[in-house]
């Protein structure tokens, strides 16, 4: 292992720990649980991946359709802000500067909202990570901390995905974060800034 001088260290805080940049990818970025006593009908899950050797983790709640129309329905209407999951807002933790759907973010933790559409979705990245995920908690004070918004593609899938799922696929020099639920797949490109 190479020697790293104090001057070359750049650390940033995550809610439950710290990651030192310049080191190999850290696979253990912790998810934030705002209320451990909450009875969760939608379980907390995460997807961890590397982007050019840098650790990234997305934490989210996984609601199920249970016979309901969710995307484009009453629960997740088109054109309205959505926490992109259930319970806490979906969060992205990164050990390096990233470009997420055209929005540049620095190392750290961000809430990850979306605005679903019939033909494409809007991704909203925000520095605020302490609010409850429900859209009603997206106050003017929270909105003022937005880093940016980017537009991404969506497509219809033939198969039905009962429980909201996030996974990744390699995509050139980066990855594509796939959001899949019911008959909808949303593709969010992520690459090192």
Question: Averaged in consecutive runs of 10 residues, what is the pLDDT profile of the chain (193 residues)?
Answer: 30 33 45 69 92 95 96 96 94 97 97 96 96 92 98 97 97 93 98 94
Beta-bridged to residue 187, according to DSSP, are: 153, 178
Buried b (16+ CB within 10 A) or exposed e, 83-101: bbbbbbbbbbbbbbebbbb
pLDDT at 39: 73
For 8, half-sphere exposure in the C-beta direction (CA atoms, 13 angstrom radius) is: 6
- Distance in angstroms between the alpha carbons of the first and the last residue of the chain: 25
pLDDT at 37: 61
Helices (H) and strands (E) in the chain, counts: 1, 11
pLDDT at 182: 98
Q: Which helix (H) or strand (E) holds 27?
A: none
Beta-bridged to residue 146, according to DSSP, are: 126
């Amino acid at each position: 292992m190479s020697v790293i001088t104090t001057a070359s260290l750049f650390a940033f805080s995550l809610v439950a720990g710290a990651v030192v940049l310049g080191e190999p990818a850290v696979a253990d970025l912790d998810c934030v649980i705002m209320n451990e006593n909450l009875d969760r009908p939608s379980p907390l899950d995460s997807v961890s991946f590397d982007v050019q050797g840098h650790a990234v983790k997305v934490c989210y709640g996984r609601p199920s359709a249970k016979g309901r129309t969710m995307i484009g329905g009453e629960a997740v209407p088109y054109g309205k802000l959505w926490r992109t999951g259930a319970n806490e807002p979906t969060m992205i933790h990164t050990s390096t500067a990233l470009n997420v759907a055209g929005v540049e973010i620095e190392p750290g933790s961000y809430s990850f909202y979306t605005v679903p559409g019939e033909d494409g979705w809007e991704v909203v990245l925000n520095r605020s990570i302490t609010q409850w995920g429900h859209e009603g908690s997206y106050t003017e004070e929270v909105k003022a901390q937005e880093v940016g918004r980017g537009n991404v593609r969506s497509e219809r899938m033939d198969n039905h995905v009962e429980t909201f799922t996030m996974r990744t696929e390699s995509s050139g020099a980066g990855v594509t974060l796939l959001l899949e639920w019911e008959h909808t797949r949303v593709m969010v490109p992520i690459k090192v800034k």
